[in-house]
């Protein structure tokens, strides 16, 4: 009981002053982290500080593992079918924004990108990112024949799935088109040459993600 009360007091202090991602992660509301308790989130850092495997039992009594955590980046394997990435990004000279990427594999990876302020209030995604549309993943073709072939192939893609990933080393965000992974393999093999090899890439500039050529 004493440890729990001490931890609760620590969380209150952290929530008021947290600015690095490790502290912000601990101070995250339980409503945004339904599988992990506040003590779970604090334990990840303790395990990493002790050079131990940063794994806890989540609310479903299944393992969740923190794979990487720094002052501005973290990668968490929430379950065998989901991961969470976070990046702390500068919005202005004095304020930061938290970018959160949830990726679900069911079985094809698909990601959801969200943004929060440092009090964990949700912010409009469109303020910081224009999410890529399906056509953004395809290269432009100068050949009418190739354009016709692509139009035919895209009729087999009845949904747009993409996997997003943040970078630990830079303030960048990358999307890879994963729809072909659930399609018939012969169709997928024909459609892949039309896709941009590096996916759709964004760089954080002037308080928002801007698409960069690749």
pLDDT tens digit sequence for 45-78? 999 999 999 999 999 999 999 999 999 999 999 9
- pLDDT per residue as tens digits for the range 148-158: 888 888 888 88
Whole-structure pTM over 0.85, yes or no? yes
Beta strands in the chain (DSSP E): 55-57, 63-69, 73-79, 82-90, 96-105, 109-116, 122-123, 162-166, 172-177, 200-205, 208-212
């Amino acid at each position: 009981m004493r440890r729990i009360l001490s931890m609760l007091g620590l969380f209150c202090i952290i929530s008021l002053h947290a600015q690095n991602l490790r502290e912000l992660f601990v101070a995250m509301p339980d409503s945004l982290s339904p599988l992990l308790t506040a003590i779970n989130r604090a334990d990840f850092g303790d395990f990493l500080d002790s050079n131990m495997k940063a794994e806890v039992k989540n609310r479903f009594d299944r393992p969740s593992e923190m794979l990487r955590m720094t002052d501005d980046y973290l990668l968490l394997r929430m379950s065998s079918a989901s991961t969470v990435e976070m990046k702390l990004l500068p919005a202005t000279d004095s304020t930061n924004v938290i970018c959160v990427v949830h990726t679900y594999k069911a079985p094809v990876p698909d990601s959801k990108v969200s943004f929060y302020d440092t009090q964990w209030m949700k912010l409009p995604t469109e303020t910081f990112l224009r999410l890529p549309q399906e056509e953004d993943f395809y290269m432009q073709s100068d050949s009418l024949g190739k354009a016709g072939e692509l139009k035919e192939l895209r009729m087999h893609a009845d949904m747009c799935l993409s996997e997003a990933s943040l970078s630990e080393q830079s303030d960048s965000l990358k999307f890879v088109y994963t729809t072909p992974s659930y399609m018939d393999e012969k169709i997928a093999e024909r459609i892949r040459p039309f896709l941009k090899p590096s996916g759709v890439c964004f760089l954080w500039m002037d308080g928002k993600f801007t698409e960069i050529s690749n």
